[in-house]
């Protein structure tokens, strides 16, 4: 029986082996387990045994040849009487070709079968994947709009959506949308119209009762904070009427100017109206500093006219004008807004008969002035009870009121103002 | 209740229910556990079920494997994840592979519990987060417990299943006060949406989950969008669909983990989610991790080496502004 | 010693030898891949230990074909495992180094030197805890006695007082490093003698191994404590198929082979009237047939299906997984 010796796999990584030396020649008898040939593997030179006893009848590979694992390299006849030693030259050539070819073939490029897949089409341009996907869905050419500067680079999904939906609106409609901070997409989906005008948007706003978003300015935020502090003040009111009809008309001198001056002079005789409470102490200031509520557009300022006791009506009027200008131009400084102990708020010019006002923090009190009716004007004083009690306040108000009927005093003020 | 008490309760209930449940590890018995997780169990169940071992991490896991083969359900405690490196052969070569190599003939219901992460000034050899290593080994379930609820239900679940589970806790959570929220049909395989939102999806677990929750109000205020915060109970398997569905809604993904950034498990989360959501993303995902340094001893440097609520908020806000949120 | 044991020894040792020689041939043909570690020359230890140990759990190393066959695993299923076929004992997923079958209390087949020693200790603990006093056998080579696994395991077994029989097969070589280059002494039982009773036996004599293991088994089960046996043996083949084995001289090999365990068994068996020429001839023919049949079975068996790739990673009822 023929037993074929093959190029063995001798290591876990071996793919082919090189015939180093035949240890047996043709016609030799080989014992089971006896080495027949030396083979060089990827790791070492190893001996290859025969697993059967018999006569080596044919050698199919030359020394030095590289043979793939599994290829026949020799034939053993296990029944020696049948042994017929073949000529060596015949087969090796064929084997060589076969062997070499096989090695080369295996190193050729690999073949794979891939099933059909649909390509994902996306527009050109620099944008997030989400933006591109949305642009593809909505038919927006990102690159084109980026070249025109209409879309930012990189573009995000929000940008693409806004651009797409903005096409539904005319220019004026877009302005309204912006003012009301509306979602373009929502408006389009709600109105279901190809071309949306300003009128459409305004109707949409009314229909849906959409508020306009007006930001709270930093100044207003501070005012709100101050008003909250005012609530901590224990307050009481004194209601009076003063004879403003007696005051002479002087060009450039308003009723407010008169009130500031007379209030400031009165404060000189009542030290508590020039005081401030700070922890355990009262700080009493020598001068009468009066602040006046000034409304510019929708904002409220409380600039301070300083040293009223040492100024005449003209000087006060000038101070007032400067402060109002600064307020209009938002140029008031911290200094312009601080240092007063008493305030005046005049709503007389709006035909208000009478009202009371909230004491700004840090002030002793505030005087709320209504409209002059038949030479008389209603005033409401608010006082901080921590600084001044009812009796003191009553004396102060009475003193103030009397000054309007003090002809000598009024004439003096009039004279100084010229 | 403390986080560690939730773990103790889980162990106690499982031991009460099933006599084949045993605990083994260094100091777990007579001493009561170095983090007191096994406190009281030695007195209640005795040294045969709460087994003190020598300092031999490899054999703690190795004998646990043998116990499982012999019919028990061992819960091995490795004092900290840092020492698990001594048991890596048993965990990676044995625990994870024997079932597969035996063609399914052998099951190993073993839980290996251990805390990880940066605590306070324990220096480089006691401050690691190694979830990436365990999560990358096929054949291991890897659970993480961020709070008392997942600690309690997660550990009970881990003990009850027949698969090997690496159960990761965090050193700084042990003494945190929290309550177990009742959950029906708890499964660690489902990620928990702990806060809903529609602007940014933030994924985290263990201590970083708590730090993320602290950072979220500031992020929401600064960026003007709401955050959806997802807490993971398992990192292998990873509940990709819950995260991906959230990202499809928010279009933004942030992952926060404590481990050093190179080769972080965070990368795996991000990649797996991107596979599903690439065309839904409106910004590249943001990964917030620890620095690539051995954890320093000095407290200031230590805090610099890991994410903190402030760093998480700052990074998300910066990223959000850059990418048009 | 009765006749039946001697006959079993001869059958199993001869089966092991023929099986492994054939495996070597099939490896060279490329039918078996990876690493193939042959135990030719060590059969007396493997067969003697399995039969001497009898009932109980067995944990062995990666040179374990003869252990598995002696334990009762079907040669065709073991051969199919070597061929990587689905009919293999581990469905073709373990290979030569990972033969498992809980039916035979046979737990591998471990390819990390010494890693199975703590497993044996743990299993012994579990059996004891569950009220079963049967011992556990852990077999390992000389190389393993230098590893941490070994020292951790003997320390634990002695501390916990569990019935583990540590069987060290000292074949003098850890791959190509001779024992005296890796250990301060070559009598390896010295390493365990402070922990447990120890014994050294001639591993080329199956009778000696059998008796020593049987006595040790009785000790561990009655005392509930571990025991250590060192069996001196020799592997004829290189460490694995990829190893040239040229670190050993032909003379050394020749001397070892003169003490061939199968030849020794034949001679002593006939001398003592435990074996007959007739029985030996019968077995020689029989195992050739069995191995031939095993190879045919392995060749004809299908490969694992693609679905097998993900099977058995986790237990099925535990995979309630969303991903």
Q: Which of C60, C116, C122, C307 best probes binding to B when mutated, by most B CB atoms within 10 angstroms?
A: C122
High-pLDDT (> 90) share of chain B, % = 98
Nearest to B107 among C108, C115, C315 (CB): C315
Residue A213 lies in a domain: no
Of A108 and B20, the one with more pLDDT: B20
Query: Which pLDDT does position A246 carry in this prediction?
Result: 85
3-state secondary structure of B200: strand
The residue written with tokens 């120890």 in the block is C198
Question: Residue C319: which pLDDT band, with cuts at 50, 70 and 90?
Answer: low
Question: Nearest to residue A198, comparing CAs of A222, A221, A178?
Answer: A178
Q: Do residue C318 and residue B70 have CB atoms under 8 angstroms apart? A: no
Q: What is the pLDDT of residues C119-158, one digit of tens each?
A: 999 999 999 999 999 999 999 999 999 999 999 999 999 9
Classify each residue of A99-110 as buried b or exposed e, where b means 16 or more C-beta atoms within 10 Å of its C-beta: beeeeeeeeeee
Number of C-beta neighbours around residue A224 at 10 A: 10
Mean pLDDT of all residues belonging to chain A? 88
Please say if the pLDDT value at position A1 is more than 70: yes
- Is residue A360 within 8 A of residue A371, CB to CB? The reply is no
Q: What is the dihedral of CA B3, B7, B13, B14, to 10 degrees?
A: 160
DSSP symbol at C305:
P
Mean pLDDT, rounded, for A326-345: 92
Does residue A181 belong to the interface with chain B, where contact is any CB pair within 8 Å?
A: no
Domain shared by A186 and A279, yes or no? no
Cβ contacts below 8 Å, chain A against chain B, sum to 30
ipTM of the shown complex: 0.93
Mean pLDDT, rounded, for C35-56: 97
Number of C-beta neighbours around residue A29 at 10 A: 13
Mean pLDDT of all residues belonging to chain B? 96
Provide the chain C residues 1-60 that lie in CB contact (below 8 A) with chain B: 57, 59
Cβ within 8 Å of residue C214, ≥6 positions away: C52, C53, C54
Domain shared by A230 and A200, yes or no? no
**What CATH number corresponds to the domain at position C274?**
3.40.50.970
Query: Is beta strand A235-243 parallel, antiparallel or unpaired with respect to A376-384?
Result: antiparallel
Active site residue B57: yes
Query: Is beta strand B73-77 parallel, antiparallel or unpaired with respect to B21-25?
Result: parallel
Domain shared by A242 and A289, yes or no? yes
Residue A113 lies in a domain: no
Structure token digits, residue C181: 């280059």
Dist CA C31 CA A399 (whole Å): 122
- Is residue B213 within 8 A of residue B229, CB to CB? The reply is yes
Cβ within 8 Å of residue C218, ≥6 positions away: none
Domain shared by A95 and A191, yes or no? no
Residue C279 lies in a domain: yes
Question: Residue A114: which pLDDT band, with cuts at 50, 70 and 90?
Answer: confident
Active site residue B126: yes
Q: What is the pLDDT of residues A244-261, one digit of tens each?
A: 998 999 988 999 999 999
Nearest to B101 among C94, C127, C152 (CB): C94
Nearest to B282 among A122, A152, A157 (CB): A157
DSSP symbol at B47:
T
Does residue A6 belong to the interface with chain C, where contact is any CB pair within 8 Å?
A: yes
- The minimum CA-CA distance between C24 and chain B, rounded to whole Å, is 22
Nearest to B279 among A129, A158, A159 (CB): A129
Domain shared by A188 and A249, yes or no? no
Question: Residue C203: which pLDDT band, with cuts at 50, 70 and 90?
Answer: very high
- The counts of H helices and E strands in chain B are 12, 12
Q: With beta carbons under 8 A apart, name residues in chain C contacting A45.
A: 244
If one counts the domains in chain C, the total is 1
3-state secondary structure of C28: helix
Answer positive or negative: Cα dihedral of A182, A188, A194, A198.
Answer: negative
Residue C172 lies in a domain: yes
Domain shared by A398 and A325, yes or no? yes
DSSP symbol at C191:
G
DSSP symbol at B126:
G
Does residue B274 belong to the interface with chain A, where contact is any CB pair within 8 Å?
A: no
The residue written with tokens 């700004």 in the block is A360
Nearest to C33 among A12, A43, A48 (CB): A12
If one counts the domains in chain A, the total is 3
3-state secondary structure of B124: helix
Give DSSP secondary structure letters for B230-280.
EE-SEEES--HHHHHHHHHHH--EEEEEEEESTT-HHHHHHHHHHHHHGGG
Provide the chain C residues 195-254 that lie in CB contact (below 8 A) with chain B: none
Question: Residue C322: which pLDDT band, with cuts at 50, 70 and 90?
Answer: very low
Question: Residue A94: which pLDDT band, with cuts at 50, 70 and 90?
Answer: very low
Domain shared by A75 and A167, yes or no? no
Residue C159 lies in a domain: yes
Query: Which pLDDT does position A87 carry in this prediction?
Result: 55
Residue of B nearest to A131 (CA): B282
Mean pLDDT, rounded, for B163-191: 95
Does residue A132 belong to the interface with chain B, where contact is any CB pair within 8 Å?
A: yes
Using only C-alpha atoms, chain B has a radius of gyration, in whole angstroms, of: 20
Q: Per the residue annotation, which of B5, B26, B57, B131 is the catalytic one?
A: B57
Q: What is the pLDDT of residues C166-192, one digit of tens each?
A: 999 999 999 999 999 999 999 999 999
Of A304 and A221, the one with more pLDDT: A304
Query: Which pLDDT does position A95 carry in this prediction?
Result: 45
Q: Do residue A158 and residue B280 have CB atoms under 8 angstroms apart? A: no
Dist CA B227 CA A138 (whole Å): 27
Query: Which pLDDT does position A100 carry in this prediction?
Result: 44
Question: Nearest to residue A362, comparing CAs of A218, A220, A230?
Answer: A230
Cβ within 8 Å of residue A386, ≥6 positions away: A233, A234, A277
Q: With beta carbons under 8 A apart, name residues in chain C contacting B161.
A: 315, 318
Query: Which pLDDT does position C183 carry in this prediction?
Result: 95
Query: Which pLDDT does position C254 carry in this prediction?
Result: 92
Residue C250 lies in a domain: yes
Mean pLDDT, rounded, for B150-168: 96
Mean pLDDT, rounded, for A331-345: 93
Question: Residue B107: which pLDDT band, with cuts at 50, 70 and 90?
Answer: very high
Distance in Å from the first CA to the final CA of chain A:
146
Mean pLDDT, rounded, for B9-16: 97
Please say if the pLDDT value at position A91 is more than 90: no
Cβ contacts below 8 Å, chain B against chain C, sum to 168
Question: Residue C316: which pLDDT band, with cuts at 50, 70 and 90?
Answer: confident
Q: Tell me the β-bridge partners of C198.
A: C228
Does residue C282 belong to the interface with chain B, where contact is any CB pair within 8 Å?
A: no
Nearest to A129 among B278, B323, B324 (CB): B278
Dist CA B313 CA C207 (whole Å): 75
Q: Which of C28, C239, C254 best probes binding to A when mutated, by most A CB atoms within 10 angstroms?
A: C28
Q: With beta carbons under 8 A apart, name residues in chain C contacting B104.
A: 91, 311-312, 315
Residue A243 lies in a domain: yes
Question: Residue A217: which pLDDT band, with cuts at 50, 70 and 90?
Answer: confident
Please say if the pLDDT value at position A98 is more than 80: no
Query: Which pLDDT does position C215 carry in this prediction?
Result: 98
Q: Which CATH architecture has domain B3-170?
A: 3-Layer(aba) Sandwich (3.40)
HEC per residue, chain A: CEEEEECCCCCCCCCEEEEEEECCCCCCEECCCCEEEEEECCCCEEEEECCCCEEEEEECCCCCCEEECCCEEEEEECCHHHCCCCCCCCCHHHHHHHHHHHHHHHCCCCCCCCCCCCCCCCCCCCECHHHHHHHHHHCCCHHHHHHCCCCCCCECHHHHHHHHHHCCECHHHHHHHHHCCCCHHHHHHHHCCCCECHHHHHHHHHHCCCCCCCCCCHHHHHHHHHHHHHCCCCEEEEEEEEEHHHCCCCCCCCHHHHHHHHHHHHHCCCHHHHEEEECCEEEECCCCCEEECEEECCEEECCEECCHHHCCHHHHHHHHHHHHHHHHCCCCCHHHHCCCCEEEEECHHHCCCCCCCCCCCCCCEEEEEEEEECCEEEEEEEEECCCCCHHHHHHHHHHHHHHCCCHHHHHHHHHHCC
Domain shared by A292 and A173, yes or no? no
Residue of B nearest to C164 (CA): B66
Query: Which pLDDT does position C320 carry in this prediction?
Result: 56
Nearest to C242 among A6, A12, A45 (CB): A12
Question: Residue A274: which pLDDT band, with cuts at 50, 70 and 90?
Answer: very high
* A neighbours by CB contacts (3+ pairs under 8 Å): B, C
Query: Which pLDDT does position A225 carry in this prediction?
Result: 86
H or E element at residue B142: strand B141-144
> φ and ψ at A246, to 5 degrees?
-75, -15
Does residue C236 belong to the interface with chain A, where contact is any CB pair within 8 Å?
A: no
- Is residue A304 within 8 A of residue A338, CB to CB? The reply is yes
Q: Do residue C242 and residue A51 have CB atoms under 8 angstroms apart? A: no
Q: Do residue C244 and residue A70 have CB atoms under 8 angstroms apart? A: no
Cβ within 8 Å of residue A225, ≥6 positions away: none
Please say if the pLDDT value at position B112 is more than 90: yes
Question: Residue A106: which pLDDT band, with cuts at 50, 70 and 90?
Answer: low
Q: Do residue C100 and residue B62 have CB atoms under 8 angstroms apart? A: no
Q: What is the pLDDT of residues B291-318, one digit of tens each?
A: 999 999 999 999 999 999 999 999 999 9
Q: Domain limits of chain B?
A: 3-170, 192-322
Mean pLDDT, rounded, for C215-240: 96
Angstrom distances, CA of residue C322 to CA of B190, B241, C39, C272: 7, 7, 46, 67
Residue A81 lies in a domain: yes
Query: Which pLDDT does position A223 carry in this prediction?
Result: 79
Domain shared by A92 and A159, yes or no? no
Number of C-beta neighbours around residue A212 at 10 A: 9
Query: Which pLDDT does position A178 carry in this prediction?
Result: 87
Around B73, how many Cα atoms within 13 Å sit in the side-chain half-sphere? 20
Query: Which pLDDT does position A99 carry in this prediction?
Result: 42
Matching fold, domains B3-170 and B192-322: yes
- Is residue B227 within 8 A of residue B220, CB to CB? The reply is yes
Q: Per the residue annotation, which of B13, B126, B222, B291 is the catalytic one?
A: B126
Does residue B282 belong to the interface with chain A, where contact is any CB pair within 8 Å?
A: yes
Strands (DSSP E) found in C29-135: 57-61, 100-101, 106-110
Does residue B323 belong to the interface with chain A, where contact is any CB pair within 8 Å?
A: yes
High-pLDDT (> 90) share of chain C, % = 91
Structure token digits, residue A368: 């709320």
**What CATH number corresponds to the domain at position A309?**
3.30.559.10
Domain encompassing residue A237: 219-416
Cβ within 8 Å of residue A297, ≥6 positions away: none
Domain shared by A297 and A376, yes or no? yes
Mean pLDDT of all residues belonging to chain C? 95
Domain encompassing residue C17: 3-318
Mean pLDDT, rounded, for B85-104: 97
Q: Do residue C29 and residue A6 have CB atoms under 8 angstroms apart? A: yes
- The minimum CA-CA distance between B280 and chain A, rounded to whole Å, is 4
Query: Which pLDDT does position A101 carry in this prediction?
Result: 43
Does residue C98 belong to the interface with chain B, where contact is any CB pair within 8 Å?
A: yes
- The minimum CA-CA distance between C158 and chain A, rounded to whole Å, is 40
Domain shared by A193 and A250, yes or no? no
Domain shared by A231 and A292, yes or no? yes
Residue C323 lies in a domain: no
Residue A123 lies in a domain: no
> φ and ψ at C137, to 5 degrees?
-105, 130
Residue A33 lies in a domain: yes
Dist CA B133 CA B189 (whole Å): 19
CATH topology of domain B192-322: Rossmann fold (3.40.50)
Structure token digits, residue B66: 């043998």
């Amino acid at each position: 029986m023929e037993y074929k010796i093959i190029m063995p796999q001798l290591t876990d990584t071996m793919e082919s082996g090189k015939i180093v030396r035949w240890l047996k020649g043709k016609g030799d008898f080989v014992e089971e387990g006896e080495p027949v040939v030396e083979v060089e593997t990827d790791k070492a030179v190893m001996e290859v045994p025969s697993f059967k006893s018999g006569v080596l009848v044919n050698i199919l590979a030359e020394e030095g040849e590289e043979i793939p694992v599994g290829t026949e390299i020799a034939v053993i006849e296990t029944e020696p009487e049948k042994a017929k030693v073949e000529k060596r030259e015949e087969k090796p050539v064929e084997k060589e070709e076969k062997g070499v070819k096989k090695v080369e073939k295996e190193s050729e490029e690999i073949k794979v079968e891939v099933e059909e897949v649909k390509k994902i089409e996306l527009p050109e341009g620099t944008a997030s994947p989400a933006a591109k996907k949305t642009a593809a869905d909505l038919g927006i050419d990102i690159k084109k709009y980026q070249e025109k500067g209409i879309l930012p680079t990189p573009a995000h999904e929000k940008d693409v959506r806004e651009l797409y939906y903005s096409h539904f609106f005319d220019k004026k409609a877009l302005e309204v949308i912006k003012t009301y901070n509306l979602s373009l997409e929502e408006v389009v989906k709600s109105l279901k119209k190809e071309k949306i005008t300003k009128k459409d948007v305004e109707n949409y706003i009314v229909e849906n009762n959409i508020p306009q978003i007006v930001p709270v300015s930093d100044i207003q935020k501070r005012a709100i904070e101050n008003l909250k502090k005012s609530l901590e003040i224990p307050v009481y009111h004194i209601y009076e009427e003063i004879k403003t009809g007696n005051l002479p008309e002087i060009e450039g001198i308003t009723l407010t100017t008169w009130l500031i001056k007379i209030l400031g002079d009165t404060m000189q005789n009542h030290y508590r109206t020039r005081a401030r409470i700070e922890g355990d102490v009262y700080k009493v200031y020598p001068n009468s500093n009066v602040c006046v509520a000034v409304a510019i557009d929708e904002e409220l300022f409380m600039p301070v006219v300083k040293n009223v006791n040492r100024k005449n009506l003209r000087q006060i009027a000038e101070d007032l004008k400067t402060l109002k200008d600064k307020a209009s131009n938002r140029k008031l400084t911290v200094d312009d807004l601080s240092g007063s102990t008493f305030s005046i708020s005049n709503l007389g010019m709006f035909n208000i008969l009478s009202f009371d006002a909230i004491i700004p923090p840090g002030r002793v009190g505030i005087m709320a002035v209504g409209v002059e009716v038949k030479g008389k004007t209603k005033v409401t004083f608010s006082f901080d009870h921590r600084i001044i009690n009812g009796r003191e306040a009553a004396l102060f108000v009475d003193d103030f009121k009397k000054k309007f009927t003090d002809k000598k005093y009024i004439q003096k003020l009039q004279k100084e103002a010229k | 209740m403390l986080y560690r008490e939730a773990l103790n309760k889980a162990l106690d209930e499982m031991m009460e229910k099933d006599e084949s449940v045993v605990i083994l590890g260094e100091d777990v018995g007579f001493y009561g556990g170095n983090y007191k997780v096994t406190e009281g169990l030695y007195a209640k169940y005795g040294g045969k079920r709460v087994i003190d071992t020598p300092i031999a991490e490899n054999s703690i896991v190795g004998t646990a494997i043998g116990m499982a083969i012999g019919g028990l359900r061992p819960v091995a405690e490795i004092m900290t994840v840092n020492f698990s490196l001594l048991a890596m052969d048993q965990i990676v070569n044995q625990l994870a592979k024997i079932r597969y190599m035996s063609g399914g003939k052998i099951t190993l219901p073993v839980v290996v519990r251990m805390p990880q992460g940066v605590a306070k000034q324990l220096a480089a050899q006691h401050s690691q987060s190694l979830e990436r290593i365990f999560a990358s080994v096929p054949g291991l379930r890897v659970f993480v417990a961020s709070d008392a609820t997942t600690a309690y239900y997660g550990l009970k679940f881990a003990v009850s299943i027949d698969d090997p589970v690496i159960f990761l806790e965090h050193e700084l959570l042990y003494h945190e006060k929290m309550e177990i929220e009742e959950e029906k049909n708890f499964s660690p395989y489902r990620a928990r949406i702990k806060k809903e939102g529609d602007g940014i999806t933030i994924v985290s677990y263990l201590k970083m989950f708590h730090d993320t929750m602290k950072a979220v109000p500031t992020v929401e205020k600064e960026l003007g969008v709401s955050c959806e915060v997802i807490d993971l109970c398992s990192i292998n398997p990873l509940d990709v669909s819950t995260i991906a569905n959230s990202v499809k809604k928010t279009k933004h993904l942030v992952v926060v983990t404590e481990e050093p950034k190179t080769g972080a498990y965070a990368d795996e989360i991000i990649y797996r989610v991107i596979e599903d959501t690439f065309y839904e993303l409106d910004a590249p995902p943001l990964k917030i991790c620890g620095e690539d340094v051995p954890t320093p001893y000095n407290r200031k440097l230590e805090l610099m080496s890991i994410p903190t609520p402030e760093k998480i908020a700052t990074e998300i806000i910066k990223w959000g502004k850059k990418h048009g949120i | 010693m009765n006749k039946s044991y001697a006959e079993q020894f001869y059958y199993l040792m001869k089966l092991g030898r023929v099986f492994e020689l054939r495996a070597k041939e099939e490896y060279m043909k490329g039918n078996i891949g990876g690493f193939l570690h042959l135990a030719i020359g060590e059969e007396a230890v493997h067969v003697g230990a399995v039969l001497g140990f009898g009932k109980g759990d067995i944990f062995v190393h990666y040179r374990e074909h003869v252990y598995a066959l002696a334990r009762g695993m079907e040669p065709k299923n073991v051969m199919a495992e070597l061929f990587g076929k689905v009919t293999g004992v581990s469905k073709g997923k373990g290979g030569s180094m990972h033969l498992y079958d809980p039916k035979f209390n046979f737990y591998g087949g471990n390819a990390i030197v010494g890693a199975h020693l703590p497993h044996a200790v743990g299993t012994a603990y579990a059996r004891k805890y569950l009220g079963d006093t049967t011992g556990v056998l852990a077999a390992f080579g000389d190389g393993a006695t230098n590893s941490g696994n070994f020292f951790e395991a003997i320390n634990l077994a002695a501390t916990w007082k569990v019935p583990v029989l540590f069987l060290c097969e000292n074949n003098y070589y850890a791959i190509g490093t001779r024992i005296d280059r890796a250990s301060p002494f070559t009598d390896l039982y010295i390493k365990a003698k402070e922990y447990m009773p120890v014994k050294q036996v001639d591993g080329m004599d199956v009778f000696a191994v059998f008796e020593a293991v049987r006595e040790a088994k009785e000790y561990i089960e009655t005392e509930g404590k571990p025991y250590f046996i060192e069996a001196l043996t020799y592997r004829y083949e290189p460490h694995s198929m990829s190893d040239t084995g040229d670190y050993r001289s032909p003379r050394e090999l020749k001397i070892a082979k003169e003490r061939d365990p199968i030849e020794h068994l034949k001679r002593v068996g006939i001398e003592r009237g435990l074996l007959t020429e007739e029985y030996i001839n019968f077995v020689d023919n029989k195992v050739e047939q069995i191995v031939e049949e095993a190879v045919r079975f392995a060749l004809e068996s299908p490969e694992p299906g693609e679905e097998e790739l993900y099977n058995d990673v986790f237990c099925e009822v535990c995979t309630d997984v969303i991903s």
